[in-house]
């Protein structure tokens, strides 16, 4: 398939028209129903509002399912673990089935979406076929792998087309009425996709394994309770680089554990909010209201600022593991490092202004729950040289390192983190350090909101 200079699929006119059909048919259906039901003007407006929400939800669900299909099919081009292949194939088949349901919801008896529904069924059926073949002890042939790669190319194009159209419709202020204005000016719609209304999965500055919290006791909450009116010393320590002018107690939060919220002001005029644990006074988060108009600092310089801040507030052995610039603001994830192993559960997130060169945001909830300096990290059962010699198929490996990652059940697992590139995408493949089996794969994709990890 033809790609543009950024590696994106160029959608031809028949495909674009097929996608746009999904939107155009709705306005005719709504108008017909309004007449048939004999709705009054006010009733018609109320009905349109309800329909607007229902159709908009179905359409956004459809976009979500295509994004899931696209990402999973892309990952299948890299992963070689049969267990992980099965998981990705099954998830793709389920997403394809859900997409068919969404397409049926926004279809009509006058003009259906037969071609797109047929395509989703084909993707789902083929993934189920591949899943069953692997389950029976066989491996996918080169032709079958090629077919999955071709399905990825087509799904990628359709996914981008659907996303662009949804943004165009939302920008008109009314999803349903906007449908009647959609035409085959596909390139015009692509230019309109910049309003941030489409809900992507977690932003990359939330980071890999950034939300490794389960129902458990936070390990860093210890010591005596502090008086809510005697928190100045804790706030001064947290706001390293600023001079505190004033602060006031706002309220107490008793969700997972008790914390105090304060509003504060610095001597240079910045205002913000800070959250401190009632027991022991650990800083959970703080943020300063700020905007960047003239960024002058580089990404690398911003990372140095974030690492130094950790040292200043007493968090030792913290290493930056991810950094992303979004709207000229730098978001950095830092993790505790022990004996050369990156401990993802022990993570803090820091926001740096690339204009002032100062930290303007901090969050340490994962660190609060998971950090344990006395934890014992098991020895790897597979050597680094062995992992370096593995076949990673099309992935161009850039680096390999040991990493402790959180598991779904709330535990931790020692892995080898393999970072590489394929088709201008970045991938992170995680191998169990005990037996070398691939257990997780993450892909980085670009968006207008920064970078996303999926």
**pLDDT, tens digit (0-9, with 9 covering 90-100), for 120-162:** 888 888 888 888 888 888 888 888 888 898 889 888 888 887 7
In the 8-state DSSP scheme, what is residue 201?
S
Is the CA virtual torsion 238, 405, 156, 69 positive or negative?
negative
**Please, which residues bridge with residue 388 across strands?**
none
Read off φ and ψ for residue 110, nearest 5 degrees: -80, -35
Radius of gyration of the chain (CA): 25
C-alpha 348/C-alpha 325 separation (Å) is 17
**Please, which residues bridge with residue 416 across strands?**
402, 431
End-to-end CA distance of the chain: 24
Q: Report whether 212 contacts 370 (CB < 8 A).
A: yes
Is the CA virtual torsion 181, 182, 186, 190 positive or negative?
positive
Tell me how long the chain is: 454
Q: What is the reported pTM?
A: 0.62
C-alpha 12/C-alpha 285 separation (Å) is 48
User: How many CB atoms lie under 10 A from the CB of residue 191?
Assistant: 11
C-alpha 76/C-alpha 93 separation (Å) is 13
Q: Name the 3-class secondary structure at 198.
A: coil
The encoded tokens of residue 103 equal 């397409």
Neighbour-count burial for 133-157, b at 16+ CB within 10 Å, e otherwise = beeeeeebeeeebeebeebbebbbb
281 has a pLDDT exceeding 90: yes
- Model pLDDT for residues 308-349, shown as the tens digit of each residue: 999 999 999 999 998 888 778 898 999 999 999 999 999 999
Element (H, E) at 215: none
Is the CA virtual torsion 213, 216, 220, 226 positive or negative?
positive
Structural domain boundaries in the chain:
13-192, 232-370, 384-453
For the domain made up of 232-370, the CATH class stated in words is alpha beta
183: Cα within 13 Å, side-chain hemisphere: 3
Q: Which CATH number fits domain 384-453: 3.40.30.10, 3.20.20.70, 3.10.450.40, 3.10.150.10?
A: 3.10.450.40
More confident of the two residues 328 and 445: 328
32 has a pLDDT exceeding 70: no
pLDDT at position 150: 86
More confident of the two residues 150 and 58: 150
* 100-104, 251-255, 418-422: range with lowest mean pLDDT: 100-104
Contacts of 279 (CB under 8 A, 6+ apart): 221, 222, 223, 224, 225, 226, 257, 258
Task: Give the pLDDT mean for 188-193.
Answer: 32
Residue with tokens 């090629």: 146
């Amino acid at each position: 398939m033809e790609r543009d200079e950024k590696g994106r699929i160029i959608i031809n006119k028949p495909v674009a028209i097929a996608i746009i059909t999904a939107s155009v048919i709705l306005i005719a259906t709504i108008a017909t129903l309004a007449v048939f039901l004999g709705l009054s003007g006010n009733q018609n407006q109320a009905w349109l509002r309800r329909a607007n929400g229902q159709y908009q939800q179905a359409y956004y669900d459809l976009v979500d399912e295509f994004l899931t299909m696209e990402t999973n099919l892309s990952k299948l081009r890299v992963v070689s673990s049969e267990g992980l292949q099965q998981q990705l194939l099954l998830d793709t088949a389920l997403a394809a089935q859900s997409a068919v349901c969404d397409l049926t919801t926004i279809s009509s008896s006058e003009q259906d979406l037969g071609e797109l529904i047929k395509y989703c069924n084909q993707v789902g059926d083929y993934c189920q076929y591949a899943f069953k073949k692997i389950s029976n002890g066989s491996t996918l042939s080169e032709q079958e792998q090629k077919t999955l790669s071709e399905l990825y190319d087509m799904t990628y194009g359709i996914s981008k087309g659907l996303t662009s159209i949804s943004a165009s419709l939302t920008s008109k202020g009314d999803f349903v009425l906007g449908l009647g204005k959609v035409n085959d000016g596909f390139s015009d719609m692509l230019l309109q996709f910049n309003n941030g209304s489409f809900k992507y999965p977690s932003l990359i500055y939330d980071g890999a394994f950034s939300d490794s919290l389960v129902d458990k006791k936070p390990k860093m909450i210890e010591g005596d309770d502090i008086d809510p009116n005697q928190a100045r010393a804790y706030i001064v320590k947290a706001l390293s680089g600023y001079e505190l002018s004033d602060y006031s107690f706002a309220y107490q939060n008793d969700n997972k554990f008790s914390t105090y919220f304060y509003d504060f002001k610095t001597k240079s005029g910045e205002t913000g909010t800070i959250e401190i644990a009632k027991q022991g006074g650990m800083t959970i988060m703080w943020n300063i209201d700020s905007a960047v108009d003239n960024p002058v600092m580089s990404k690398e310089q911003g990372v140095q600022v974030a690492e130094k801040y950790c040292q200043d507030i007493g968090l030792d052995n913290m290493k930056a593991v991810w950094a992303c610039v979004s709207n000229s603001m730098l978001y950095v994830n830092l993790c505790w490092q022990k004996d050369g192993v990156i401990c993802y559960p022990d993570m803090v997130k820091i926001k740096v202004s690339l204009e002032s060169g100062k930290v303007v945001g901090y969050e340490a909830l994962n660190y609060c729950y998971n950090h344990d300096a006395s934890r014992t990290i098991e020895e790897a059962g597979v050597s680094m040289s062995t992992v370096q010699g593995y076949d990673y198929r099309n992935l161009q490996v850039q680096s390999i390192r040991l990493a402790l990652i959180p598991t779904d059940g709330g535990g931790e697992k020692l892995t080898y983190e393999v970072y590489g590139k394929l088709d201008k995408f970045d991938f992170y493949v995680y191998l169990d350090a005990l037996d070398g089996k691939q257990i997780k794969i993450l892909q980085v994709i670009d968006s207008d909101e920064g970078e996303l990890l999926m």
